[in-house]
Structure 1
Amino acid sequence: MTAPAFGRATVVGAGLAGLSAAVRLRETGVAVTVADGAAQAGGRCRSYHDPQLGLVIDNGNHLVLSGNAAVARFRRTVGAPADTLTGPDEAAFAFADLASGARWTVRPNAGPIPWWLLAPSRRAPGSRARDYLALARLARARPDETIGDRLAPAGPAWERLLHPVLLAALNTDPAASSARLAWAVLRETVARGGRAMRPLVAQPTLAAAFVAPAVAWLAGRGAPVALGRRLRSLGFAGDRVTALHWADGAQPVAADEAVVLATPAPVAASLVPDLAAPTAFRAIVNAHFAVPPPPGAPPLLGLVNATAEWLFAFPDRVSVTVSAADRLLDTDREALARTFWAEICRAYGRDAPMPAWQIVKEKRATFAATPEQDAHRPAAATRWRNLFLAGDWTRTGLPATIEGALRSGETAARLVAN
C-alpha cells in the first residue's frame, strides 16, 4: 500500500460528511483528530431526547434509498446494525390525496427494464407510461437548465408522484430546481430499477443508524470525537493552512498534517477567504407526535393536497416532514401542530385528540438546488494544498442528501490520502 500523502489530519465537523471523511482516513492509516463545536455528533442528522415528548427523536426525518452506495459502504465499514435501517422488501411508495380521498401505491418492478410503466395499477392514477419516459429529457440538460425547462410540470404523474418525490430529494420547488441534479438522483435510483429504489428509514433514530456506530468505530481506532470545540479561524501562510484557532487556544498545523473542513457552507465561507459556496438555502419543517401509528400504517406515506408532505410511522411516534418550507417558518408552532394532526387523522382514518407534539424548524436545512446555487458549489480541493472541504453543499453532483454528504467525506479523504 502506498503511504498516504499526509500522515495525519484534523477533521473539523462531526456531521455525516466529517464522520465519513474521518472513517475513510483511518482506513488508509492516517492519524485522525475530529472536533465539533456542538454538544453531540451528527450535525443536521442528530438525535436527542425531547422532554416535551418524552421520546428520543431526530431533528429531521431523513429517507435514503437502497441504491445509495455510499450509505451502504459507510454503514458496512462502521458495523451499523442491519436493523437500524429498515424498509419494505420491494420498492413501494404509498400516497393519499386528502382532497379527493384517493389512495394509491406506486410500485416499480425490481429490474432495470421498467415494465411497471405498462401496468396502470403500478403507476400513479391517471398517469401514462410516456409521462415517466419523458424524464429522460433531464439527461440532456445544460447546467443552467431547470426541471421546468425540460419537462411540463403538470399532469397526474407530476402531481401524484414526481413533484412530491423531487421536492423531497431537492428541498426546492422542483420546477425551479436544477435539471442536472434531478437527473443525478434519478440515474442512480429510478434508472436502475426497484432494487435501487426501496425507501429506507432509520430505526429507531438516525443516531443509531449512522452516528453512534461511526463515533464508536473511530474511538476504537484512536480517533475519538471531541465535542464542544469550536473553530474560530484558520491561519494561512503561502499555500498551506498553518494554524487552527479554536475557542480554547491555537493549534499549529504540522507539515505532514491535512485539514478537512466539514462544516456548513456559511461557516466554511466565514473561515476560508474568497470561498465560493452556496448563498441561498431552503428550510425544512418537521413535526413529531408522541403516539404510535395505527396498525398497518405504511412506514412512509406521501400526502397530496395537504400542508404535511410525508408521514413517517415509527413504533413510538408519527412524524411529519415538509420540504422547501420557508413559508411556514413564521407560522405559530401550535397552529402548525394542529394542522398537521388534523391531516394525520384524515390520512390514517382516525379521530383522536392531539397528543404531545414537537415542531422542529431548520431554517437553513439545505442549499437551494437551483442551477445558480449548484454553480456556486466548490470542489473538495482548495488552493491551499493541505485544506480540503467536505459537506453535502460541495460539488458532489448530487443535491443535499445523506448520500451526498457521505460521498463528500470519501472524496476529501481520498484527496488527503493521495
Structure 2
Amino acid sequence: MTGPAAAARVHVIGAGLAGLSAAVALADRGMTVVLSEAARQAGGRCRSYRDSVLDMVIDNGNHLVLSGNPAVGRYLKAIGAQDRLTGPLSAEFPFLDRGSGRRWTLRPNDGRVPWWVLSASRRVPGTRLADYLPLLALTRPHPGRRIDEVVSCHGVAWEKLLRPLLVSILNTRPEEASADLAGAVFRETLTQGGRQTWPRIATPSIAAAFVDPALGRLREDGVEIRLGRPLRAVTVAGDRLAALTFDDGEERLGPLDKVVLAVPPWTAQALLPQMTVPDDFRAIVNAHFRTASPANARLMVGVIGGTAEWVFAFPDRLSVTVSAADRLLDMDNQTLTDLLWRDVAAVHDLSGPAPPCRIVKEKRATFAATPAQEARRPASRTAWANAFLAGDWIATGLPATIEGALRSGEKAAALAMASR
C-alpha cells in the first residue's frame, strides 16, 4: 500500500487508443501520469501481434481512418507518427458487385460543392441525382430516431452505397441504427468535400502507427507505464475516488490526484455499478490470408452481395472485414475461411484454394449504434469529482471509431487538468 503522492498525479486506467490519447495530452501539459493496463500489451482493440499460424505480424482487425479526422491528425502529430498512414491522394472507393460481376469506383470530388453526384462515372451505376438525397436528409438532427425512420432503406443507391457505408461506419444493421450517429459522420466527411474522405490505413501496422510511437513518447516524458496491471476495485469516499486496488496492491489517491477510466464499458460498470453504460454490442469478423498482394492491387475494395464487406491489400497479406457480423460467430473457421476467400479471389481475380488464414472474431467489438444504446452513453465527467471517462463508448457524438476514441481521451485529459 502506498500513501498519497507529494505531487498531483493522474492515473490513466487502460492503454487502448482512448487511454493513450489522454496520457499523451496530459504528459504534454506537464502532468505526472501513471498509465496502467490490464493486458500485457497496449492498444486495446487496435493491437498488432505476431500470429503463430501465419508466422507474421497482423493487426487484430482492419482499421480505416479518413484524411479529415481531426483528432487522428492531432494525435499522430503529438506522437511524431504523421508518416504512418498511407492511401490515395483522392477520395476513391472501388466496389465489386458479386452478383453481376460489375466494378465501379465512387469518386467524390475534393471541393465542398458535391458535383460528383451529377457525373455518371463518379457515382454508383444505375443511380440518379435524386437517389443521393438521403445523404442530405441524414445530415440533419433526428434525436432518438432510427435511420429507417428518416430515409427509405430501398433502391439501388441504398443497396450498393448507403447500406455498405453505414454498416461499416456503425457496425450495426443500418435499418435499426441511430440516424444522428450516421449524420454526425456524414457532416464531418462527405458534406465537407471529398478531401476530408481520403481513405487512410496504418502502415506497416496499427501498432506501428498508433501505439508504439505513443508509448515511446510517453516514456520520453517520464510517464510510468505499467502493463499487465488490472484494476480490480475502486474505493469511493463521498464524491471522490479514494483508492485504486490493483493486483499489485492499493494506491491511495491524494486530494489533487485524478483518475481517467479508459476501460471497456462492462469493466467501468463493474468498478462503479452506479453508472449507466451501453450493454448491447455487435461483432466484427476479420480474416487475414498469408499471400502477397497482386501487383497494382487497390488498397481497399468494397464487396456488394458477398460475405466480405471490404477487402484490404497489404504487401504480405490480403485481409477481410465483416461488420455487424454476429451471424458469423458460430460458423466454424474453415467454412468461414472458404466463404471469405471466394470474395477475395473474385476481387483480385485469383484462383486456387485459400492460402493460410487467421480468422479473428471480436464478439463485443463496439456498442450497438442504436438510439437506445446511444441514450446509455455517459458523459466524460462522472458523479465523482476526480474521475473522468474515456472510450469510444462514451458520449462523443460519433459511433465507436478511432476518431471518437481519441477525442474522448482529449476530453478526459482536458477535464482532469481543468479540475485542478
- Normalised by the length of structure 1, the TM-score is 0.97
2:416 equivalent to 1:396:
no
State the match for 2:4 in structure 1.
none
- One-letter amino acid of the counterpart of residue 143, structure 1: P
Counterpart secondary structure, 1:414 = helix
State the match for 2:378 in structure 1.
378
Counterpart secondary structure, 1:122 = coil
State the match for 2:3 in structure 1.
none
Comparing 176-185 with 128-137, greater Cα deviation is found at 128-137
| In 1: Cα distance, 2:51 partner to 2:368 partner | 29
- One-letter amino acid of the counterpart of residue 177, structure 1: A
2:171 equivalent to 1:171:
yes
State the match for 2:300 in structure 1.
300
Counterpart secondary structure, 2:61 = coil
| In 2: Cα distance, 1:42 partner to 1:28 partner | 22
Cα offsets for 1:211-244 (capped at 9, x unmatched): 0010100010001421000000100001110000
Cα offsets for 1:89-120 (capped at 9, x unmatched): 10000000111100000000001010111101
Cα offsets for 1:149-182 (capped at 9, x unmatched): 1111111111111111111010001111100000
Q: Which aligned segments of 4 or more residues in structure 1 are displaced greater than 3 angstroms?
A: none
| In 2: Cα distance, 1:149 partner to 1:382 partner | 32
State the match for 1:58 in structure 2.
59
| In 2: Cα distance, 1:142 partner to 1:134 partner | 13
| In 2: Cα distance, 1:7 partner to 1:380 partner | 20
Comparing 221-230 with 283-292, greater Cα deviation is found at 221-230
State the match for 1:129 in structure 2.
129
Superposed displacement of residue 304, structure 1: 0.5
Superposed displacement of residue 81, structure 1: 4.7
Superposed displacement of residue 48, structure 1: 0.1
Cα offsets for 1:68-89 (capped at 9, x unmatched): 000000000100150x210101
State the match for 1:67 in structure 2.
68
| In 2: Cα distance, 1:211 partner to 1:260 partner | 18
| In 1: Cα distance, 2:389 partner to 2:257 partner | 15
Pairwise mapping of residues 139-150 of structure 1 onto structure 2 (< 5 A)?
139-150=139-150
| In 2: Cα distance, 1:106 partner to 1:88 partner | 13
Structure 1, unmatched stretches of 5+, are 1-5
| In 2: Cα distance, 1:46 partner to 1:140 partner | 35
Superposed displacement of residue 31, structure 1: 0.6
- One-letter amino acid of the counterpart of residue 190, structure 2: V
| In 2: Cα distance, 1:28 partner to 1:7 partner | 13
| In 2: Cα distance, 1:45 partner to 1:281 partner | 17
- One-letter amino acid of the counterpart of residue 65, structure 1: L
% same residue? 54
State the match for 1:14 in structure 2.
15
2:192 equivalent to 1:192:
yes
| In 1: Cα distance, 2:194 partner to 2:13 partner | 37
- One-letter amino acid of the counterpart of residue 105, structure 1: T
Superposed displacement of residue 246, structure 1: 0.5
Structure 2, unmatched stretches of 5+, are 1-6
State the match for 2:232 in structure 1.
232
Counterpart secondary structure, 2:273 = coil
| In 2: Cα distance, 1:85 partner to 1:148 partner | 35
| In 2: Cα distance, 1:371 partner to 1:356 partner | 40
| In 2: Cα distance, 1:374 partner to 1:210 partner | 27
| In 2: Cα distance, 1:139 partner to 1:98 partner | 30
Counterpart secondary structure, 1:342 = helix
Contact persistence 1:235–1:242 (CA under 8 A):
yes
2:51 equivalent to 1:44:
no
Superposed displacement of residue 274, structure 1: 1.2
State the match for 1:3 in structure 2.
none
Contact persistence 2:106–2:123 (CA under 8 A):
yes
Contact persistence 1:282–1:367 (CA under 8 A):
yes
2:93 equivalent to 1:115:
no
Q: What count of residue pairs does the alignment treat as equivalent? A: 412
| In 2: Cα distance, 1:301 partner to 1:20 partner | 30
- One-letter amino acid of the counterpart of residue 207, structure 1: A
| In 2: Cα distance, 1:240 partner to 1:273 partner | 15
State the match for 1:104 in structure 2.
104
State the match for 2:276 in structure 1.
276
| In 2: Cα distance, 1:273 partner to 1:288 partner | 38
CA RMSD of aligned residues (A): 1.0
| In 2: Cα distance, 1:129 partner to 1:416 partner | 48
Contact persistence 2:139–2:186 (CA under 8 A):
no
State the match for 2:416 in structure 1.
416
| In 2: Cα distance, 1:171 partner to 1:340 partner | 18
Contact persistence 1:282–1:324 (CA under 8 A):
yes
Contact persistence 2:60–2:286 (CA under 8 A):
yes
Pairwise mapping of residues 308-347 of structure 1 onto structure 2 (< 5 A)?
308-347=308-347
Counterpart secondary structure, 1:21 = helix
Contact persistence 2:8–2:254 (CA under 8 A):
no
Q: How has the CA–CA distance of structure 1 residues 139 and 354 changed in structure 2, closer, same or farther, with 3 Å as cutoff?
A: closer
Cα offsets for 1:218-276 (capped at 9, x unmatched): 01000142100000010000111000000111110111100000000111111113111
| In 1: Cα distance, 2:336 partner to 2:225 partner | 36
Contact persistence 1:14–1:225 (CA under 8 A):
no
Contact persistence 1:215–1:224 (CA under 8 A):
no
| In 2: Cα distance, 1:350 partner to 1:233 partner | 52
